[in-house]
Amino acid sequence: MTVENQENAFVARVLAIRSQHILIQDYDRQMIAVLDDRRKAIQATLLTSESADEGVSGCSGQPLEELRLNAMQEMSRLQSFINNFRQSVREDPEGVFIDSR
């Protein structure tokens, strides 16, 4: 799956979650799962743990390092969102729904 397809699938999943009439705690849990999946997909696609010398699809050196830096920043942002949703799961009142309207 290409990076663009992964991004489109991620957005579609988030929009599907947001369109539901759902308990806020269930919303938080679903968002944690989708954000964590997105983090893992970015890491797997851009091979952020591989050495820069090995290259990715003909990309090496500075362009590869820029891709990896951007991926690491995005994964950090996603982790921050995950942490916020985890805190929300603990703090959100029970029995409160999100209405899609």
Tens digits of residue pLDDT in 20-39: 999 999 999 999 999 999 99
Calpha distance 29→86 (Å, rounded): 8
Q: How confident is the model at residue 99 (pLDDT cuts 50, 70, 90)?
A: confident
Angle at alpha carbon of residue 57, lines to 79 and 5, rounded to 5°:
50
